[in-house]
Every structure is written in structure tokens, then in C-alpha cells.
Amino acid sequence: MVASGLAGPECLVDSLTTPIVQTATYTFKNTEELIAYQEGRFGSYEYGRYGNPTARACEEKIRALERAEDCLVSSSGMNAATTMLLALVPAGGHLVTTTDCYRRTRQFIATVLPKMGISATVIDPSDLAGLERALASRPTALFFSESPTNPYLRCIDIPKVKALCAAHGAVVAVDSTFATPINQRALELGADLVLHSATKYLSGHNDVLAGALAGRADLVAAVRAMHNVLGGVIDPHAAYLLLRGMKTLDLRVSRANASALLLARRLQEHPKIARVHYPGLESHPDHAIAARQMDGFGGVVSFELAGDLWATARFIDACRLPYIAPSLGGVESLIEQPTIVSYWDQGPEERACIGIRDSLVRFSVGVEAAEDIWADLNQALEAADARQ
Ligand SMILES: *Cc1c(COP(=O)(O)O)cnc(C)c1O
Ligand SMILES: *[C@@H]1O[C@H](CO)[C@@H](O)[C@H](O)[C@H]1NC(C)=O
């Protein structure tokens, strides 16, 4: 680029990548321009909590991927979920959610929302009769569920849920983190809002935290107004990393789909594996729903060893390829035992009550060669056995 001598944002238009606009506030030439901005005649930004061009580029991209009317990105998936709940459920209101959801989301619904008199009915992801009863019992502002869920990858029937909720005026919000917009377009299936922990597949490199909410413009606007107050903004550099990650989203997700399905099928045949939870397997309780509403089944495979908590821990310790870590959806394979990573503070009875089995393993398939991953899982299953 020939040096143009421009000092303002004009000099950035030839940049192939989206610039990181590292600013807390935005300037106006004069009062007239500021008034024009306030009246919507001059497009700009005002203050960093209300918007940022790098973050806006993320919003535009996710909006396009989800075929949404609008999108809001924020500092984390939890921030997107909590801001949405605070914005869309009125004080004293009611919402319906499902079991087997992200633990912190459930914690927020169970411990923070009641301070505003908000109550929740928790149903099994497949319990449409329970949903109908809950909707009929009292006015319901919102239905909120993951699909697929964590860690058992249960899927909700989005069109059926939408039909029931629409009849009662309840907004349908789906946390589609595990599916990504590559494998599932929740909005096209009927959801009003789709939520992502962009920390996972959207950014995809285990190096940034971010959240996104996309869908109906009026709902996103209501959540954005709450977000402007609460202030869980994404940092411009994090927004850049999210944009960069999304360039390879389709490549990474396609690879993860293929590898995860292969691994799930082989694990299912392995004598040391008691059970595999993967929506792409015919044995999964929600396989028919997943086959109808997803293109691929994602990169997370959960499975149970034929052994106790410690046999499972020995297997995990014998793995050499995946890192032992929470999180998912990045290029590096990650392995974890939910009992130890997420539920260690709860006793065996509480874990049993919420269905977290001690021999459960959650595997987030990275972009490594599938045969390398399979060879490693195999040697670890052998090694764990030998050391018993
Ligand atoms: C990780 C995760 C969240 C929370 O997102 P953060 O970015 O970690 O705040 C919410 N929902 C699902 C399904 C997740 O996997
Ligand atoms: C993964 O997702 C893509 C969508 O990009 C889909 O077309 C493909 O069939 C999926 N692959 C597998 C193996 O499931």
C-alpha cells in the first residue's frame, strides 16, 4: 500500500484482516456530528461499552452464519446466557429449562434468578408433555436449553418445542455451542434466539473467552440494552481472535464430525467401553432428532468405561495425545472426567442424582489425525488395564 498520509480510520480500508480497534471511546468532529449520531443520521460508535468495530465484525459474521436478524457478542458464553436471562425474564416471571445443561447456567437459574422472584421448571430434554404442563401452569417468558447438551449430548426437538412455546407466547432460546452454525441452524428450525460459548468451536483455538447471542432483532436489542448496563463487553483483541478462528470454522467442524463419528463407532465396539453417548450413533436416545435437525453430529464424544472412578482416571492418565482440561471445541483434543473436573465438590449421591456417572469421560476431538487419536485411546485402554 502506498502511504496515503491519512491518519484516521480511512487508512485501514485496504487491510485484508479486520483491524483491532483498540479504543475505549470514539471522537466526534463537533457538536453537530454528535447530534447527527444521536439522531441516527451519522453512523459511528460512542463508547466502548456500547460497541466496537472489531466486535461488530464478529457480530456480522455470526449473524450471517446463523441467518439471524442481529447478533450480540460478549465477554463469555456465561455472560451471554446471564445477560439474556436478566433481559428477557421479568421479575417474578417463570422460565423452563432442561436437565443436563451447563452447570453454571443451572447454578445461575437456581441461585441468582430467585432473588428476583423468578422461578424455573426443569424438564428432561425429551419431555414435551412436561413442557406443555409447565407452559399451561403459569405465564412463561422463556424456554432455554442446550442442544446438544453437556455431557450426554441430548437433543431437543426444536420445531416441536417452538410450536408448544409459540402457543403460550414463550421465547425459545437454544444454546447451540456443541453444534455450531455449521451443524445446526437453530433459528431456521424455529428458535427465536441461539446462544454460543464462542470460547469453544467458534474461536476454536483454546485461546480466548467469548460469547454470542443471535436471532430476532427485537430480542437481541433488548439483551443489548441490558448488556450496555451490565458491561460484559468483549475485548477488541479477543474479538479479533474470534474472527480469526471463525475463518476455519467449517474446516475444523467438518474434520471433528468425521473423526468423532469414527471414534464413537469404534469405542462402541470396544470391550472395555460400557457405553458411548454420541448423537450420530443409532444407540443414542435422540439420534432420530439429531439426524433430522443436524448436518453433522459435532466433535464431542462422551463414553463410560467398564470400570470405576479410578480405573477411568488411570485410563485418562495413560492418554498421551489429548490434554487433560475442561473446555472443548478447540484444535487440540481435550479429555476430562466430568466427576473430577466439574462435580468433585459434590458427593457421589448428588452426582448420581444429576446423572453424572464416575466412569464418564468427555472427549473433545481436535484436528489431529483420527487414526492417531484412535491409536492413543487404544493404548491407554490397554495400559489402564495392565496397571490395575
Ligand atoms: C462452555 C459453555 C458455556 C459457558 O461459556 P463460557 O464461554 O465458558 O462462559 C455455556 N454453554 C455451553 C454449552 C458450554 O459448553
Ligand atoms: C460435518 O458437517 C458438515 C457440514 O459442514 C456436513 O456436511 C458433514 O456431513 C458432516 N460430516 C460428518 C462426517 O458428519
Answer whether residue 388 shows pLDDT above 90. Answer: no
* CA 329/CA 131 separation, integer angstroms: 30
Of the candidate ranges 64-68, 149-153, 274-278, 320-324, the one whose mean pLDDT is the lowest: 149-153
Rounded to whole angstroms, how far apart are CA atoms 223 and 217? 10
The ligand whose atoms approach the alpha carbon of 211 most closely is 1
The yes-or-no answer on residue 115 being catalytic is no
- Identify whether the C-beta of residue 331 lies closer than 8 Å to the C-beta of residue 367: yes
Comparing CA positions, the residue from 163, 213, 152, 170 lying closest to residue 189 is 163
- At 151-185, the pLDDT tens digits run 999 999 999 999 999 999 999 999 999 999 999 99
Q: Which three cell numbers stand for residue 144?
A: 432455554
The finding on whether 312 has its CB within 6 A of some atom of ligand 2 is no
pLDDT exceeds 70 at position 236: yes
pLDDT for residue 8: 53
H or E, element range at 175: strand 171-175
- Residue-level pLDDT at 3: 41
Asked if pLDDT for residue 12 goes beyond 70, the answer is no
The Å distance, Cα 59 to ligand 1 centre, comes to 18
Phi-psi sector, 356: left (phi>0), alpha (psi -120 to 50), beta? beta
Instruction: Tell me what the mean pLDDT of segment 311-319 comes to.
Output: 96
Positive or negative, the CA dihedral 365, 183, 255, 57 is negative
Torsion of CA 285, 355, 293, 280, to 10 degrees: -60
10 pLDDT band, cuts 50/70/90, is low
Does residue 330 have a pLDDT over 50?
yes
Percent of the chain at pLDDT exceeding 70: 96
What pLDDT, in 10s, does the model give residues 23-36? Answer: 999 999 999 999 99
127: annotated active-site residue:
no
Q: What pLDDT is recorded for position 102?
A: 85
pLDDT single digits (tens) 50-66: 999 999 999 999 999 99
Measured CA to CA, the distance from residue 241 to residue 160 in angstroms comes to 36
Question: How many A from CA of 103 to the centre of ligand 1?
Answer: 9
Q: Is 182 close to ligand 2, i.e. is its CB under 6 Å away? A: yes
Catalytic-residue membership of 63: no
Annotated catalytic, 26? no
The gap between the terminal CA atoms of the chain, to the nearest Å, is 65
Mean residue pLDDT of the chain comes to: 94
Residue 249 CA, ligand 2 centroid: distance in Å: 12
Pocket of ligand 2 contains residue 250 by CB under 6 Å: yes
pLDDT score, position 5: 44
User: Residue 148: pLDDT above 60?
Assistant: yes
Q: How confident is the model at residue 6 (pLDDT cuts 50, 70, 90)?
A: very low
Question: pLDDT tens digits, residue range 191-207?
Answer: 999 999 999 999 999 99
Check whether 294 has a pLDDT greater than 80.
Answer: yes
Q: In DSSP terms, which residues pair with 273 in a beta bridge? A: 305
Residues of the chain with pLDDT > 90, as a percent, come to: 88
The residue that leads in pLDDT, 357 or 352, is: 357
